[in-house]
C-alpha cells in the first residue's frame, strides 16, 4: 500500500511513508537462473511455432508421414538417461560429493553425445531408405526439428565442457553447483521439448 501512494501523488500525506526495501516483484533467484528461465521461454516460442507450422503443413494433401526407425526409441531412452545423470549431479553437488558429481556429470554429457550420434544414425537410416529431406514435407520437418533440437543440446554441451573442465581442474564444487543446476534445468527442458515433438511426430 505504501508504495502505491508513492506512485500516485507524492505530496499526499503518504510522502513520509517510504518503502525502500524493494522486494515486491523481485525474485529471490540468482540472475543466471532468472535469465535461463527467460531463455527457455524464447526456446519454447521457437519450438511451439515450429510445431504449429508442422500441424498446419500436415493438413495439406501431399503430406506423407515418415516411418519411425526403432532407433528413435533408444535415443529417447538415452536422452532420459542423460537427464538422470544431470539430476544426479545436481543432487550430489548439493551434498558436496565431488566424486559423484564428476561421474554423474560426465555420464550425463556422454549420454547426450550418444543421443546426438544416435540422431545422426537415424538420419542416415532414413536416407538409406530413400526418405530424403526434400522428398516430402514430413521429412523436411523431421530433419529440421531434430537438427534444431540437436543444436540446442550442442549449445548446452559447450557449457557442459566448460563446467567439466573447471570441475576436474579446480577439484572443488564451489560456484560450479549453480552451473550444474542450470545445466540440469536446461537438459530437463530439452528432454520435455523432445518428448512433445516426438509424440507429435507419431501423429498420422
Residues that bind another protein (CB under 8 A): 3-4, 6-11, 15-29, 31-32, 34-35, 38-39, 41-43, 45-46, 49-50, 53, 56-57, 60-63, 133-134, 137, 139-141, 144, 148
Q: Minimum Å distance from CB 132 to another protein? A: 9
Q: Minimum Å distance from CB 168 to another protein? A: 23
Q: How far apart are the C-alpha atoms of 6 and 156, rounded to whole Å?
A: 44
Q: Minimum Å distance from CB 103 to another protein? A: 30
Q: Which is nearer to another protein, 50 or 110 (CB)?
A: 50
Output the 3-class SS for 39-95.
HHHHHHHHHHHHHHHHHHHHCCCCCCCCCCCCHHHHHHHHHHHHHHHHHHHHHHHHC
Q: Which is nearer to another protein, 104 or 146 (CB)?
A: 146
CA-wise closest residue to 134 among 27, 62, 48? 62
Residue 44 grid coordinates: 519454447
Q: Minimum Å distance from CB 7 to another protein? A: 4
Q: Which is nearer to another protein, 60 or 203 (CB)?
A: 60
Q: Minimum Å distance from CB 48 to another protein? A: 8
Q: Which is nearer to another protein, 70 or 155 (CB)?
A: 155
Q: Note whether 145 and 198 are within 8 A (CB).
A: no
Distances (CA, A) of 169 to 11, 88, 166, 173: 59, 21, 5, 11
Q: Which is nearer to another protein, 106 or 144 (CB)?
A: 144
Amino acid at each position: 500500500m505504501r508504495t502505491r501512494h508513492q506512485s500516485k501523488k507524492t505530496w499526499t500525506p503518504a510522502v513520509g511513508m517510504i518503502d525502500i526495501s524493494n522486494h515486491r516483484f523481485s525474485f529471490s533467484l540468482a540472475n543466471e537462473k532468472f535469465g535461463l528461465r527467460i531463455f527457455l521461454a524464447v526456446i519454447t516460442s521457437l519450438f511451439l511455432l515450429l510445431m504449429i507450422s508442422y500441424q498446419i503443413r500436415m493438413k495439406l494433401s501431399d503430406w506423407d508421414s515418415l516411418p519411425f526407425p526403432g532407433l528413435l526409441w533408444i535415443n529417447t531412452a538415452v536422452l532420459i538417461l542423460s537427464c538422470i545423470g544431470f539430476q544426479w549431479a545436481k543432487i550430489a553437488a548439493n551434498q558436496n560429493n565431488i566424486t559423484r558429481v564428476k561421474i554423474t556429470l560426465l555420464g550425463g554429457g556422454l549420454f547426450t553425445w550418444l543421443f546426438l550420434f544416435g540422431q545422426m544414425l537415424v538420419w542416415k537410416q532414413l536416407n538409406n531408405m530413400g526418405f530424403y529431406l526434400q522428398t516430402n514435407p514430413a521429412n523436411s520437418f523431421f530433419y529440421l526439428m531434430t537438427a534444431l533440437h540437436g543444436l540446442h543440446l550442442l549449445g548446452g554441451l559447450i557449457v557442459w565442457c566448460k563446467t567439466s573442465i573447471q570441475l576436474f581442474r579446480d577439484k572443488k564444487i564451489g560456484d560450479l553447483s549453480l552451473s550444474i543446476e542450470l545445466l540440469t534445468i536446461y537438459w530437463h527442458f530439452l528432454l520435455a521439448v523432445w518428448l512433445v515433438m516426438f509424440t507429435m511426430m507419431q501423429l498420422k
